Amino acid sequence: MSFVDNIRRVIPYTPGEQPQKKVIKLNTNECPYPPSPSVKKALDGMDTDVLRLYPEVACDTLNDALCSYYGVPRECVFSGVGSDDVLSMCFLAFFAGKDPVLFPDITYSFYDVWAEVYRIPYETVPLDEAFGIRPQDYRKPNGGVVIANPNAPTGAALGLDAIEDIVSHNKDSVVIIDEAYIDFGGETALPLIKKYDNVVVVRTMSKSRALAGMRIGYCFGPAQLIKYLNDVKYSVNSYTMNTPALVAGAAAIGDDEYFRDITSRIIKTRTAFGQRLRELGFTFVESSANFIFAAPPAPFEASFIFEELKKRDIYVRHFKKPERIAGHLRITIGTDEEMETLYETLSDILE
Ligand code: PMP
């Protein structure tokens, strides 16, 4: 017996690289545009003396703004340090049963890590041939369900009917819908929180609000589930979100015009770049997110293209596992200029 036997050992999630040098960074689905000018204004105007005090314990500044923007009652919202924190708290709070939690075999690769670290039993459900989620596959005994919609890293979206099918067939489990990318396409499951007592919808400001560096995530759900979530949060760390994040998040939510402008620009760039990728012979399923998950034309291997791009200071993401996706590259949608440079570089590599 040694102390090592008492240590909680896990294989951690691997985040995308954050290189210090200036590169074309299309590897972590960040927003290519800066946050709303109202974020800068709010932070510039912040009295730093308040940093002497602990932040708002119930994240009121941010949660009030979220509730009025989304038209959700105050007791139905919860915020955290990025949606990773919110999701992690959801796993801890909602998945304490013995049956396995279900999620797709190809999805956000943090889900199995949280399951492992919290010792939650889980089972992965294979996507179909076209990387689609089949709602009927989620009709078996389980201790919870997690669906990313649009899914990551595929970008494929599931309609609201299909999401509702999963929620309504799992009334004895909590169903988490991770909508990290919903502002770029797909239908939100937000209306379901009024209709069902077992669904939670998770969002982030890291992508469509251009605030990845602030770490702001939130979720909406029935009051009872939000209460359980708060009970867990207050049992781990009462003051999760810092004061500047609360101020910046509220300011970002307050500038809807800017939000609509940058998200529609990204969608437009995605359409144009997708067309050019197809011209180069890449194949991919239609993306509803701020990235495209594409396989290069034979005989080129995704890993080769990944390395060649990196040598030229263009960073995209390549997942070696699971094997079914190792032939793909996940390419974040940047500015039109960045995508033009990528297109030209890919043309050279494929020559
Ligand atoms: N869910 C999905 C599907 C994601 O891709 C990400 C980004 N890595 C997150 C949640 C977490 O994002 P954040 O913690 O920045 O809100």
Report pLDDT for 218.
Answer: 98
Q: Are residues 299 and 249 in the same domain?
A: no
Q: Are residues 77 and 20 in the same domain?
A: no
Task: Flag whether 313 is in a domain.
Answer: yes
Residue 143 pLDDT > 90, yes or no? yes
Q: Are residues 346 and 200 in the same domain?
A: no
> In this structure, what DSSP letter does residue 212 have?
G
Residue that terminates a domain, selected from 230, 254, 278: 254
| Cα–Cα distance for residue pair 98/87, rounded to 1 Å | 19
CA–centroid distance, 63 to ligand 1, in Å, is 19
Q: Are residues 26 and 51 in the same domain?
A: no
Over residues 25-77, the pLDDT tens digits come to 999 999 999 999 999 999 999 999 999 999 999 999 999 999 999 999 999 99
Task: Flag whether 292 is in a domain.
Answer: yes
Give the number of other Cβ atoms within 10 Å of residue 247's Cβ.
20
Report pLDDT for 47.
Answer: 96
| Cα–Cα distance for residue pair 33/39, rounded to 1 Å | 13
Structural domains counted in the chain: 2
Q: Are residues 50 and 180 in the same domain?
A: yes
Query: Can you give the residue range of the structural domain that contains 190?
Result: 37-254
CA–centroid distance, 27 to ligand 1, in Å, is 13
Give the number of other Cβ atoms within 10 Å of residue 335's Cβ.
14
Task: Flag whether 229 is in a domain.
Answer: yes
Q: Are residues 226 and 279 in the same domain?
A: no
DSSP string, 102-161: EEESSS-TTHHHHHHHTT--EEEE---TTS---GGGG-S--SEEEEESS-TTT-----HH
Testing ligand 1's pocket by substitution, the residue of 62, 206, 219 carrying the most ligand atoms inside 8 A of its CB is 206
Task: Flag whether 6 is in a domain.
Answer: no
Residue 6: left (phi > 0), alpha (psi -120 to 50), or beta?
alpha
Q: Are residues 41 and 185 in the same domain?
A: yes
Atom 6 of ligand 1, nearest CA residue: 180
Task: Flag whether 331 is in a domain.
Answer: yes
CA–centroid distance, 180 to ligand 1, in Å, is 6
Task: Flag whether 11 is in a domain.
Answer: no
Q: Are residues 261 and 245 in the same domain?
A: no
Report pLDDT for 322.
Answer: 85
Please report which confidence band the pLDDT of residue 172 belongs to, taking 50, 70 and 90 as the band edges.
very high
Instruction: Return the ligand 1 atom nearest residue 204 CA.
Output: 16
Pocket residues for ligand 1 (CB within 6 Å)? 82-84, 108, 148, 152, 178, 180, 204, 206, 212, 217
Task: Flag whether 5 is in a domain.
Answer: no
Q: Are residues 65 and 213 in the same domain?
A: yes
CA–centroid distance, 70 to ligand 1, in Å, is 20
Q: What is the mean pLDDT of residues 88-114?
A: 98
Q: 231 is written with which tokens?
A: 């009970």
Instruction: Return the ligand 1 atom nearest residue 152 CA.
Output: 3
Atom 1 of ligand 1, nearest CA residue: 180
